[in-house]
């Protein structure tokens, strides 16, 4: 048996499933189709292939209660990439996916840094009560 080790690299991005802060929910099938399209675009533009794990979750915050999806990425030891390349590909994939799913804001958590991609800083989920 072979054991292949690599330095740990992880990233997680969370997408709310409300389309544009409306009550219309994005179906899982549509989410997956848009994800596959974003993966193909990243591969074509940056020559990076990103295997993605999907997990269901909820975002709960000060009145907001939104069904959501987490997508996560690792450094896959069988096909290692430079961390800077993985980060660039993940940022690009999340940007493509958030635009195609009509999302205003998405947070990506890497082990060393957190990024927030945002279309309009003034827009907030109307369910959030401050």
> For position 79, what pLDDT does the model report?
87
At residue 128, the pLDDT reads: 64
pLDDT at 108: 98
Ordered per-residue pLDDT tens for the chain, 130 residues? 999 988 999 999 999 999 887 788 999 999 999 999 999 999 999 999 999 999 999 988 887 788 999 999 999 998 889 999 999 999 999 999 999 999 999 999 999 999 999 988 776 665 666 6
Whole-angstrom Cα distance, residue 29 to residue 42? 20
Q: Can you name the CATH fold of 11-118?
A: Alpha-Beta Plaits (3.30.70)
How far does CA 126 lie from the centroid of its chain?
22
Domain spans, the chain:
11-118
Angle at 111 between CA 16 and CA 83, to 5 degrees: 105
**Token pair listed for 120:** 């309009």
């Amino acid at each position: 048996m072979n054991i292949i080790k690599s330095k740990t690299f992880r990233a997680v991005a969370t997408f709310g499933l409300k389309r544009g802060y409306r009550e219309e929910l994005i179906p899982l099938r549509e989410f997956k189709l848009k994800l596959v399209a974003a993966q193909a675009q990243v591969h074509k533009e940056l020559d990076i292939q990103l295997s993605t794990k999907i997990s269901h979750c909820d975002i709960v915050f000060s009145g907001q209660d939104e069904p959501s999806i987490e997508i996560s990425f690792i450094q896959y030891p069988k096909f290692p990439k430079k961390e800077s390349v993985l980060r660039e590909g993940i940022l690009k994939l999340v940007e493509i996916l958030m635009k195609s799913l009509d999302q205003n804001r998405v947070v990506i958590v890497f082990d060393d840094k957190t990024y927030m991609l945002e279309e309009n800083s003034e827009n907030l989920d109307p369910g959030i009560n401050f």
